[in-house]
Amino acid sequence: MWSADEIAGLCYLHYRTRLPKQGKPDPNREWTSLAAVVKVESGAQREVLDSPGNLQVTKEVVAMGTGTKCIGQNKMRKTGDILNDSHAEVVAKRSFQRYLLHQLWLAASHQQCIFSPGTETGKWKLKPNIIFIFFSSHTPCGDASIFPISEPENQLSKPVTGGHAAGKSPECRSNHNHLCPEDKRKSEKMASNHIIKRMKTDDGVCFSIITEDLAVRHESVERKDNTNQKSCECSAEMQTANKDTGLVRPKVVDVHRTGAKCVPGDLDDARIPGLGYHCVGLLRVKPGRGDRTCSMSCSDKLARWNVLGCQGALLMHFLQYPVYLSAIIVGKCPYSQEAMRRAVIERCQHISSLPDGFLTQEVKLLQSELQFEHSRQAVQGVQTNSKTKLVPCSAAISWSAVPEQPLDVTADGFRQGTTKKGIGSQQSRSKICKVELFHKFQKLVTIISQEDLPDTLRKKMCLSHHLGK
C-alpha cells in the first residue's frame, strides 16, 4: 500500500519538481533539511493502516518545508508577523495548518474536501479513509538525536592522547554548574586506565572507543522529588559487549550530539566526553548564535503534536477530534528507533486527564533508505575533496496545497528580500506566520452563519457583538 521509501521518494520528487530554485541551497557549499506531510487516501471508507496490501490508495504531498534556522529571543515580535522557528519540521507543520484551514473553508462552502460533518454543530472530522504521514529527511533535533554512534566495521583507528578520552557521567548537572575537579579527575583516570582509540565513520564523524572488555555501566540520577529518574540512564544500545559468546568487541563510548540546550531551570547535560555527555528525556530549546532562542526542539514539538494533534488551538474550534499523524518517516541519516520512540512517544505516555478525543498516539516510526540530495551527509559525500566550508542554507521554503500563493520563501523570519524598512509591512510576512494564519481563520469564521458556528465561537461572537454596542 505504501512504504517508507515510497513516501520519501514522493517527497524528494515534489521537492525537485514543485519547489523553485529560489530558497534551495547552493550544493557546492550549502545544505538544508526537508520535511513534508503526505495525505494517503484509500478508495474505501476504512482504516488505511489496517487495509489489505492490494487496496488502491492515492498519495499526495499537501505540505512541505525546508530550513535549519531559528531566530533569537531578542528578535521575537508580539505582533506575530515573524517566523520564530524555521526548522523544516516546523515549517512543514505550519504549512500543513494552512492546508487544513483551506480544507475547512471548502467544507464550510459545501465543496469536496477531507472533512465530513461531525455530530456537534459547526464541527467537522477527518474522513476515515484519510491519514497523514509526516516525513523528515533527518532525525529531529533534541532528544531523538541523542543515541550511541554505531560501531563502524573495517575502519582503521589510531591511538589518541588523554585529551580525547571519554568517560561516563556519574550525574546530571544543574544549568549553572560545569565540570567540577572531581569529575575532571575521574575522566583523566579513565583515560589513563583504558586504551582509547579514535575511529572515523563513513561521514567523517570521529568518536572514541575503549578496546578493553568492560561492560558499560548503567547509572541513573536520583532526584529528591524522584521525578525524571531515567533521564540520565544509558540506552540499552550502549552495551556492546557480548557476554554470551565472550567476544571482545570495541565498545562505542560516544553519542550523537544535539545542539539543542536543556530548558533553563531543569536538569542539564553533564558534558563529560563520551556516553555521559548528554542526559536523555529532557526538554530542550534550539541553539542560537549568541542570542538564546525560545523555540523548543523538534523532538519536543513532535511529542507535543503526537498528543495534541497538528491542527493548533484555532482550528480545534471547528474540529470534533484532533488531526493526528499516523506515521513519522525519517530519511537516510544517523537514526535510532529506540531514541525516536523515547522522544516522541514514551516521554508523554504518563500524561492523563486530557480532554475528550485527545490521547498519546502510538504513531508508526519508520526509516527510509533514501537520502535527501541536499542533506548535510549527501553534500559532504560529494564535496569530500573540497576545501570549501559547508554551511546551512539561510533560507526556508514553505509550500501548501492551496490555490492562492502556495509558495513562500523566507530568511530570518521574514519574506526573502525584506529590508529593515519593510519589516512590519504585509509584504514582509510569511503566509504561515501567526498573524497571517489568524487572518485566514477570521475569514473562515465570517463566511459561516451565526447558527452554524460551533458553540465555542458562537459565544465569543455574541460577546463581541454585545461589547460593540
Positions marked catalytic = 89
Q: Which residues contact 234 (CB under 8 A, 6 or more apart)?
A: 168, 216, 217, 218, 219, 275
**Closest by Cα among 393, 358, 370, 324 to 96:** 324
Q: Which three cell numbers stand for residue 200?
A: 572515523
Give how far Cα 306 sits from Cα of 21, 300, 303, 361, Å.
33, 10, 5, 6
Neighbours of 406 (CB within 10 A): 18
Strands, DSSP E only, in 186-337? 196-200, 206-210, 251-252, 261-262, 267-268, 284-285, 327-330
**Closest by Cα among 4, 2, 39, 19 to 340:** 4
- How far is the C-alpha of 144 from the C-alpha of 138, rounded, in Å? 10
- How far is the C-alpha of 31 from the C-alpha of 319, rounded, in Å? 38
Task: State the sign of the Cα–Cα–Cα–Cα dihedral 57, 62, 67, 68.
Answer: negative
**Closest by Cα among 307, 327, 301 to 144:** 301
Gyration radius from the chain CA atoms:
24
The amino acid at 15: Y
- How far is the C-alpha of 42 from the C-alpha of 104, rounded, in Å? 20
Under DSSP, is residue 304 helix (H, G, I), strand (E, B) or coil?
Answer: helix
**Total residue length of the chain:** 469
**Sequential DSSP letters for 180-218:** -HHHHHHHHHHHHHS-EEEEE-TTS-EEEEE-S--PPPP
Per the listing, cell 509558495 goes with 407
Under DSSP, is residue 132 helix (H, G, I), strand (E, B) or coil?
Answer: strand
- How far is the C-alpha of 63 from the C-alpha of 356, rounded, in Å? 28
Under DSSP, is residue 242 helix (H, G, I), strand (E, B) or coil?
Answer: strand
